[in-house]
Amino acid sequence: MVAPSFSIECDPAGPFLHLSLVGDWNRVIADRFATEVAGGIRGMIAAGALPGTFLTLIDMSRKNILPQDIATDMARMLRPDSPSRRIAFVVSGSLHLLQARRLCESEGRRCFPTEEAARQWLFAD
């Protein structure tokens, strides 16, 4: 079992948001993640980043499958009116891919096997 953790890197100039999720998540870590992501987004907007223009990379390659209730909460965070124009998911394995695809049902969201491929797509304009 891998301890649950995450990292959040915000670059308002990009505007780029890089989220890394690791391990076995429970409600406590999921709630903390949601709170910290919201704070990061508010900080990016306060620094001049425009909502609707963010490029977001979510690295789930070292994350175990999300429990259903947490996956539902994650889907709410990634709703079509989120501040992100594009969201790229880095996943490992077929189960991750299946779960991430449920989060990618909106335009501007895709899954990738590597961070390099995800970044190429995100910044390809």
Query: What is the spatial distance between Cα 89 and Cα 57, in angstroms, rounded to a whole number?
Result: 6
Q: What is the pLDDT of residue 102?
A: 67
> Which architecture, in CATH terms, is 5-122?
2-Layer Sandwich (3.30)
What are the two backbone dihedrals, phi and then psi, of residue 31, each rounded to the nearest 5 degrees? -65, -40
Query: What is the spatial distance between Cα 56 and Cα 11, in angstroms, rounded to a whole number?
Result: 10
More confident residue, 94 or 36: 36
Query: What is the spatial distance between Cα 51 and Cα 84, in angstroms, rounded to a whole number?
Result: 7
Above pLDDT 70, what percent of the chain? 86
Are the C-beta atoms of residues 49 and 15 closer than 8 Å to each other? yes
Q: What is the pLDDT of residue 117?
A: 96
* Extents of the domains making up the chain: 5-122
Instruction: Return the minimum-mean-pLDDT range out of 19-23, 49-53, 81-85, 99-103.
Output: 99-103
